[in-house]
Structures are given as structure tokens and as C-alpha cells.
Amino acid sequence: MKSSELSSEQFEIFKRMIYDMAGIHMYDGKEVLVKARLAKRLRALNLDSFDEYLEYLGQDSSGDEITQMINVLTTNKTNFFRENKHFEFIRDRLLRELQSERRPLRFWSAGCSSGEEPFTLAITLFEHLPEIHNRDIKILATDISTKVLDKARTGRYTRESVNDIPSALLNKYFSRTRVGDKDLYEVKEMIRRVIKFARLNLMGPWPMKGPFDLIMCRNVMIYFDRDVQKTLVMRYWDLLRPGGYLLVGHSESLMFVGQKFRYIEPAVYQK
């Protein structure tokens, strides 16, 4: 079989693997997408067919190729100030509630992709939380994909990807830098300092104890089925401080998941 062909049996095997490893449910009809994304790995490894690739995966005891496979099969679309209503909510409600708190403040961006979400959160905190420099603030930013985390850790973005950042904030929190033949915008150290990027599979154990004041898990659970969503939402509950908030993507809804959270406004829930 040529590399351009992915049989339904092979699709089923990859579908099962990505579900077992990452909880991602590839609905039928995703064959074309899966094939196009896995074809990148075939090219990188110089393999001729998906059978050869499956054999390669089976023999790879290091787990490196599984990591690469997850990197190509995840959807990482994101941008700065995405679903800006959430950042308005953080400014107008959460930060008002937290402004007189003197305790450490903890935030988690779960499924942070290439960093735009946690960086936007940090900028919002710097803009609207009084005396931020005297506070103990940490943002944990996690993802399963090593590729996006590598990008996030550079803190460097192209002109197009900073388009949604108001120019005053761009000037204040980014510096321009030239890398090779590209002009890039680099997040300043004061912002980077409060964020820790780490690889974490939401399906696996979570080493952190919390409690968090805010968990953002936006546009991640859409890739999971109901059972996985339900389990995740219960685990978020356990890690939130009472009164803490869970933000999900605006196209996601916890309505059907049967959870204990209090609905605040679209895509905002409180413990």
C-alpha cells in the first residue's frame, strides 16, 4: 500500500492509540485529517507506508515517536486575547475579588498550546492587579504537545500572531528582536517570570496540588468524549480553591456533564 492510502483498519488503530494516550476522540470522518498529519511523520522518517509507520512505532521503546505522533495529531490553534470576554471577566470580577488578598495567587492554563493564552492572562494581571510586583503570583501553563511548548518557551511571535494585541500593550510587554531574517516580538522577562511551562497529559497523573484561583481549559475538552470530560471536570473541581473559577471555551458547555459548578456566565463556572 502506498503512503497516500490509509485503510479503515489503519485509521482504527491510530484512532485507538490517540484515544488511549491523549483522550482525543477522532470522530469518523477525520480520516483525511489524520492521514495528512501522519504523512508528515512518514516523510520525516522516510517511510513508504502507514504499515511501516505502525511497525516503527511498535519498535520505538524510547517513546519519542509517540511524542512526535501526538505533536502532529493535536490541534493547537490559539491566539492572543482569544475569546476576550474571559479576560474582561478576569479584569472585572476575579481581580476585584483578589485585589485585597495577600496570599499567593495561583493560575493554571491547561492546554496552553504555544503560550498565547497564559501570556494574555499574565498581561491582564500586570495591567489590572494593583501592586503586582509585591505579590506572589504563578501561572502554570501545560500541554501534551512538546512542539507547542518549545515554541511557548521562546516567547517569540510573528507580526501576524501579535495582531490582536492592542499596540499600547504590545509596546509595554514585548520587545522586537531579529532572528535570522525574521522580525519577531518577544515577551518581556517580567511577564515570562511568572509563567512555568510544563508538559502534562491531562489523562495522566497531575503532580501539582493546587489550590488554584483560576483554571482555564479552553478549546481542549471539545476533543474529548463525554466520559473523559466528566472525569476532567471533577478533577478540576478538586484542584480549585472554594470560590475559584473554571473557564472553558465558549463553544464548550458543562451543562450536560452533570457537575457541581455554579454557572456564572457563558463558559465561566465557579466552585
Ligand X SMILES: C[S@@+](CC[C@H](N)C(=O)[O-])C[C@H]1O[C@@H](n2cnc3c(N)ncnc32)[C@H](O)[C@@H]1O
The residues of the shown chain that bind ligand X, judged by CB under 6 A, are 22-24, 74-78, 82, 111-113, 117, 143-145, 148, 201-203, 218-220, 223, 249
- Quote the Cα angle for 100-104-110, to 5°: 115
Residue whose CB is less far from ligand X, 166 or 204: 204
Distance CA 91, CA 184 (A): 28
Let me know if 205 is exposed, middle or buried by CB neighbors in 10 A (0-12, 13-18, 19+): exposed
Q: Toward ligand X, which CB reaches closer, 49 or 146?
A: 146
Q: Which is nearer to ligand X, 213 or 252 (CB)?
A: 252
Q: Which of 143, 192, 213, 218 is catalytic?
A: 143
DSSP secondary structure, 174-198, as one string:
EEEEEETTEEEEEE-HHHHTTEEEE
Residue 85: all three cell numbers together: 470576554
- CA 4 – CA 1 distance, rounded (Å): 8
Known catalytic residue at 37: yes
Is 51 marked active-site?
no
Quick one: 90 or 148, whose CB is closer to ligand X?
148
| Nearest-approach distance from CB 118 to ligand X, in angstroms | 9
| Active centre residues (catalytic) | 37, 143
